[in-house]
């Protein structure tokens, strides 16, 4: 069924899905320390809807800067909330969870902000070969899923071992399998920050050169 076109960005279909993601994340946060079933399902559904809103944006021609920012903020805040809980559950690994939060938030914020400054139509558009590969649809979906799965498995393992496969915990097996990809995603986030830093510095250099060029004629007139 066709949806009538309108320009109220706040009620675009993908953004409505984004609001639902926020509500689910908040419910997950509320129950995260007490009820792993409710918290786990709400968090997982919120994360999975991240792929749905992208499909909706393309299907209904409703891709917006607001939606992209809402999506990014929901991702960052959702993962941060889970990592804060993990730091509480596993205090001996608190530094690593803190480091994961810092890398995730800082690198993505810098990359998004720089994309706006340099005038890119999307933060997913970049000439760097690593970014081109990373932002391919299947690659990005896979990396985000296994990264979230790693942290969710660590969360669930605090409460239960889950199903057993040949006497081994399924959640523990998945954590070992997805852990390397979580580390790889952190490394890619650092690459985001490096690329953004280079682009932002280039903007600074260009603006300084333009400023000097504008000032030179004025100085020349004064000397005459």
**Is 17 domain-assigned?**
yes
Say yes or no to pLDDT of 3 above 70: no
State whether 161 and 60 are in the same domain: no
- The catalytic site residues sit at 75
Which H or E run contains 151? helix 137-157
Residue 1 has a pLDDT of: 43
Residue 15 has a pLDDT of: 94
What's the number of domains the chain is made of? 2
Tens digits of residue pLDDT in 24-81: 999 999 999 999 999 999 999 999 998 898 888 888 888 888 998 899 899 999 999 9
State whether 95 and 148 are in the same domain: yes
Measured on CA atoms in the order 114, 188, 92, 79, is the torsion positive or negative? positive
Say yes or no to pLDDT of 160 above 70: yes
Range of the domain at 119: 90-214
Tens digits of residue pLDDT in 87-128: 999 999 999 999 999 999 999 999 988 988 887 766 677 778
Residue 53 has a pLDDT of: 87
State whether 60 and 137 are in the same domain: no
Rounded distance between C-alpha atoms, residue 99 and residue 59, angstroms: 37
Measured on CA atoms in the order 153, 154, 160, 163, is the torsion positive or negative? positive
Say yes or no to pLDDT of 220 above 60: no
State whether 95 and 64 are in the same domain: no
Which token pair is 34? 């007490």
Q: Which of 17, 40, 71 is the last residue of a domain?
A: 71
Tens digits of residue pLDDT in 175-199: 999 999 999 999 999 999 999 999 9
All residues at 6 or more sequence positions from 20 whose CB lies less than 8 Å from its CB, including other chains: 46, 49
**Is 121 domain-assigned?**
yes
Residue 210 has a pLDDT of: 87
Rounded distance between C-alpha atoms, residue 81 and residue 143, angstroms: 19
Residue 171 has a pLDDT of: 96
């Amino acid at each position: 069924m066709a949806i009538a076109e309108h320009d109220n960005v706040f009620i675009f279909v993908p953004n409505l899905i984004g609001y639902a993601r926020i509500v689910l994340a908040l419910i997950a946060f509320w129950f995260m320390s007490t009820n792993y079933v409710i918290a786990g399902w709400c968090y997982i559904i919120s994360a999975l809807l991240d792929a749905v809103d992208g499909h909706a944006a393309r299907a209904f021609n409703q891709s917006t800067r607001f939606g992209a920012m809402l999506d990014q903020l929901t991702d960052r805040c959702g993962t941060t909330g889970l990592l804060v809980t993990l730091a509480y559950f596993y205090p001996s690994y608190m530094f690593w969870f803190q480091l994961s939060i810092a890398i995730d938030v800082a690198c993505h914020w810098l990359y998004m902000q720089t994309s706006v400054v340099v005038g890119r139509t999307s933060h997913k558009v970049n000439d760097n070969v690593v970014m081109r590969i990373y932002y391919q649809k299947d690659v990005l979906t896979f990396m985000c899923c296994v990264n979230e799965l790693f942290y969710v498995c660590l969360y669930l393992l605090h409460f239960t071992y889950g199903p057993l496969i040949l006497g081994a915990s399924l959640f523990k097996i998945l954590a070992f399998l997805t852990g390397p990809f979580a580390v790889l995603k952190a490394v890619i986030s650092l690459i985001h920050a490096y690329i953004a830093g280079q682009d932002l510095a280039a903007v600074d250099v260009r603006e300084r050169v333009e400023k000097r060029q504008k000032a030179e004629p004025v100085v020349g007139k004064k000397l005459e």
